Amino acid sequence: MKILYPFMYLMQFILSFWNAIYLYRIMGQFVDYRNGSLFKAAIILGCCAMSNMPIDLLDPVNSLGIFCLFMGLMLVCSNSRLINKVSVILLLFPIILGMNFITGRLVWKIIDLTGSGLEHVIWLRNIFSLIKIGIWYLISRNLAGRLKSIKKYVDTKTWLLADTICLLALLSMLVAIIKPPSTNILQEYREITTGYDLFGTYLIVMAGIFTNLGVILLFDPLIENVKMKMDHQASRIREEYYHSLEKQQDQIRKIRHEMNHHFQMLYTCLEQQNPKEAKQYLETLLEQTQSTCGRKFCQNQVLNAILNDRYGKLLENQVDTHFNISIDTHLGIDVMDLGILFANALDNALEASLKITETNRRKVVLQTRCENGMFSFRLNNRKNNEIYASKGRILTDKPDKRNHGYGLETMQELVDKYHGTLEISYTDDEFTLFFYIRTL
């Protein structure tokens, strides 16, 4: 039997490494790892240690040790937002802790029941490692397709809700393992512990594991809901773009149809030796042509169409409008997402401007800049309506609150999707929306 010990220990290392690979892949669904082989090696070795750490009753050292190791790995080896790092710990740590505890207890239970020697412990641990590999494989396989967009579409509010549930499950598991329910008797005015209610501990640990698995599965419908909302916004942007193109084509056809008339008018002015009138007529014609083609705010046609449409609407409603647009063609931001951000922000600014009765007070200033790997957006507009806020969220002042008021919420979700920051400030007569997104 001793001859097989090196083989058994080698098998244990291989199984631990195999466990770590699946855990590494699952964690990668929630956070981005830092570039570099050293960071990846550190995560895999850390996962090996976590998946192989024995957990027993009344053992706070190993339980909290895994937690500290997990936290250290995320802080050092991941470049995601802090909320993502904390969330992956709270989601996966209870599952790791629970499986290590249950498999560890089962190993010693089998040894006690069969009367086997300690040499069988390594065999049993390898068998249960294979079972854990199967569980991680099933989780990885079922969640890979479901959660591939979790880093993009889950916002901070949803993460906090999930973290609260997982934290409660984790605390229950830690209390059940470190200080399990005990059977006490009173002897000489003292309580003496005669045993522990392992059934209750097992029940709490299993409940914690399934609670966290359920939370992970709940992300799927949440992601689909956010995707549907984004797709609806993107469809509206595309519809506006094609409507803008159709409108421009109609105007171009109209100008072409009237071109002979324009030439005839110019010829008549010149024939009558009236160059001043010909010049005025030509300037008017050029202004019409320029308005048909639209201004060129940026290189992207879809975004340029949105900006032209909102710019035209603001001018039509006598709003003093200033656009200072500087957008890199390689932002790394989906153009539809960018269009949704611009459209929602400018629509809100237009609505606020229309509520100002004195047209000479209406003003909207939009500034965007790409610099040092950051895209910044600042929109300032005058207002006279009161701002209603609840729990950090700006509420709509429209009568139908159920179907309105999602513009800023959608913008916040998109900014969170690209790990950016959105800030809102306002006074009695001005409203400012500012956000920045890292583009590198």
Report domain extents, the chain: 2-227, 258-293, 295-438
CA distance 113 to 20: 31
Place of tokens 């984004």: 230
| Residue 322: strand, helix, or coil | strand
* CA triple 324-326-328, angle to 5 deg: 165
Of 107, 147, 143, 136, the C-alpha closest to 124 is 107
* pLDDT exceeds 90 at position 245: no
Residue 401 — very low, low, confident or very high, per pLDDT cuts 50/70/90?
A: very low
Tokens of 151: 């880093």
* pLDDT exceeds 70 at position 108: yes
CA distance 13 to 10: 5
Whole-number pLDDT of residue 5: 66
Residue 258 — very low, low, confident or very high, per pLDDT cuts 50/70/90?
A: low
Average pLDDT value for residue range 75-97? 91
275 DSSP 8-state letter: H
Helical spans, DSSP H, in 29-81: 37-52, 60-77
405 DSSP 8-state letter: -
CA distance 48 to 136: 13
* CA triple 437-438-440, angle to 5 deg: 150
154, 36 contact by CB (below 8 A): no
Helical spans, DSSP H, in 258-296: 259-271, 275-293
Give per-residue pLDDT as tens, 413-436.
888 888 888 998 888 889 999 998
Q: One-letter amino acid identity for 396?
A: T
Give per-residue pLDDT as tens, 301-334.
778 888 888 888 898 899 999 999 888 666 778 8
Q: One-letter amino acid identity for 194?
A: T
Residue 186 — very low, low, confident or very high, per pLDDT cuts 50/70/90?
A: very low
Average pLDDT value for residue range 272-281? 77
142, 216 contact by CB (below 8 A): no
Kindly report which listed range (84-93, 208-217, 386-395) carries the lowest average pLDDT score.
Answer: 386-395
Whole-number pLDDT of residue 12: 80
Give per-residue pLDDT as tens, 339-366.
889 988 999 999 999 999 898 999 999 9
262, 270 contact by CB (below 8 A): no
> For residue 59, what are the contacts with CB-CB under 8 A and spacing of at least 6?
177, 178
* pLDDT exceeds 70 at position 248: no
Tokens of 9: 């220990």
Residue 335 — very low, low, confident or very high, per pLDDT cuts 50/70/90?
A: confident
CA distance 311 to 245: 16
Average pLDDT value for residue range 60-65? 89
Tokens of 46: 């850390």
* pLDDT exceeds 80 at position 71: yes
Q: How far is CA 356 from CA 245, 319, 369, 383, 399, in A?
A: 31, 10, 29, 6, 18
Whole-number pLDDT of residue 124: 84
Kindly report which listed range (177-186, 383-392, 410-419) carries the lowest average pLDDT score.
Answer: 177-186
CA distance 394 to 409: 9
Q: Helices 407-417 & 198-257, crossing angle to 10 degrees? A: 110
CA distance 183 to 200: 12
Average pLDDT value for residue range 145-151? 70
Fold of 295-438: Heat Shock Protein 90 (3.30.565)
Q: Identify the helix (H) or strand (E) that includes residue 59.
A: none
152, 219 contact by CB (below 8 A): no
Whole-number pLDDT of residue 304: 84
CA distance 330 to 326: 12
Average pLDDT value for residue range 264-285? 75
Whole-number pLDDT of residue 195: 54
CA distance 13 to 5: 12
Question: Which of the pair, 118 or 61, is modelled with greater confidence?
Answer: 61
CA distance 350 to 5: 76
Of 396, 371, 393, 374, the C-alpha closest to 385 is 396
**With pLDDT > 90 as the criterion, what percentage of the chain qualifies?**
24
Give per-residue pLDDT as tens, 43-57.
999 999 898 888 888
What does pLDDT average to over the chain? 81
CA distance 314 to 321: 7
For the chain, report the end-to-end CA distance as a whole number of angstroms: 57
Tokens of 381: 């507009």
Question: Which of the pair, 233 or 65, is modelled with greater confidence?
Answer: 65
CA distance 339 to 347: 12
